Amino acid sequence: MKRRWIALLAFVAITGCGGSDGGQTDAPPAVPNPHTADRLATGAANAFLDTYTTEEGRVERTDQGSDTVGEGQAYGLLMAAALGREQQFDAIWGWTKRNVMRPDALLAFRWADGRIQDPQAAADADLDTVRALLIGACKFDRPQLRGAARRIGKAVLRRETADAAGRPVLLAGPWAAAGGRLTTNPSYLDPATLSALANESSDTRYTALATEGRQIIRSVSAPLPPDWAVVDAASGRAQPVESASSLGGEGRFTWDAARTLVRLAVDPEAAGRRIAARAWPVFADRRPDEIPVEHNLDGTAAGASRHPVTLVAAAGAATASSKARRAQQLLAAAEALDREQPSYYGAAWVALGRLLLTTRRLDPTRC
């Protein structure tokens, strides 16, 4: 299927406070030019769906062996719901339920060659699926999707949450609690979805999970968040680590952590937006072509690879700091880089970045 690209020169309105370039982060973001922002966002989302989704509803990582991961199915559901593409939403949701949904209602990590290759779940895929189902329930007037979202939310509480010194921690997955060591991935925390689940169920555990998640991310960011962190179950102390299986290290901001700044930039609570805004000085004086993927947590470059997801992350930090013009430039640069070097992950986060940062189409509380 042909990939559809849209002009990059149109003005992009970014969700900063009142659209100014000041530093205020306490008020909810506003969109100064919603029509242009919406056109660019929906164009990027349509391009992703038309390029990476099969007719049967499988989101295919064509640049990574044509496999499928739970996060990809969630991304497809989010975009189909945001665009009101009900038939495609149903295809993606149906394929997801038949092929990667586990008996506990969480999503298996990886599918390839006709079967599940890695049955473990990842909390980001589960929470993104919840958000998509809540949006779909409103968009398509289908209450049963709301029920499915609540079931997954309850499974997250049962299987992907652990206690640390009396406070709840969102685990990276059901596998991530062993020997008093709780493994977390900061980019998996989605405060907006947790807030929506709290409203849906009147269960304050979701709110507590978001509150503790913000505190963990703040404590391990310097000012950039790491891809991975561990929390000591006895003390509640968090520290960055090099990888999901690492016992130590200083941690890095790379492919995963970039998403943290986008999710926190649209946090309904100012505390999350302030964490994203703290990262803005890392990117403020750099041109887009000077921003690599790999960084040390202090913001110094740790590699030379470039990828759209990091530019979208920088746009998230700019949005949280109300730097509308810079966020505009970074989103356009991310889309241009993905056009030059197409990838499933790049296209996904160009679209999700535009939808989250410049529109309200992925607001799970808006019906």
Percent of the chain with pLDDT over 70: 91
Average pLDDT over residues 342-356: 98
341: CB partners within 8 A, 6+ apart:
none
Angle at 328 between CA 327 and CA 331, to 5 degrees: 80
What are the structure tokens assigned to 257, written together? 């952590």
Secondary structure (3-state) at 22: coil
Say which residue the tokens 């559809």 belong to.
4
Does the pLDDT at position 189 exceed 80?
yes
User: And the tokens for 240?
Assistant: 């960055």
pLDDT at residue 49 tops 70: yes
Is residue 13's pLDDT more than 50? Answer: no
pLDDT for the residue numbered 252 = 97
The pLDDT score that the predictor gives to residue 15 is 35
pLDDT tens for 241-261 read 999 988 788 999 999 999 999
The pLDDT confidence band at residue 367, using thresholds 50, 70 and 90, is: confident
pLDDT, tens digit, 9 for 90 and up, residues 15-35: 333 333 434 444 444 445 889
Q: What is the DSSP letter of 288?
A: G
Q: For 170, how many CA atoms within 13 A lie in the half-sphere containing its CB?
A: 33
Rg, the chain, Cα only: 19
Q: Are 262 and 352 in contact (CB under 8 A)?
A: yes
- For the chain, give percent helix, strand, coil, nearest 5: 50, 15, 35
pLDDT digits over 57-96, tens only?
A: 999 999 999 999 999 999 999 999 999 999 999 999 999 9
Measured distance CA(139)–CA(142) in Å, rounded: 8
pLDDT at 161: 98
Cβ burial, residue 10 (10 Å; 0-12/13-18/19+) = middle
- Which helix (H) or strand (E) segment holds residue 146: the answer is helix 143-159
Sign of torsion over alpha carbons 101, 69, 47, 268:
positive
Mean of all residue pLDDT scores within the chain: 92
**112 Cβ neighbours under 8 A, 6+ residues apart:** 65, 66, 67, 68
Q: Residue 20: in which H helix or E strand, if any?
A: none
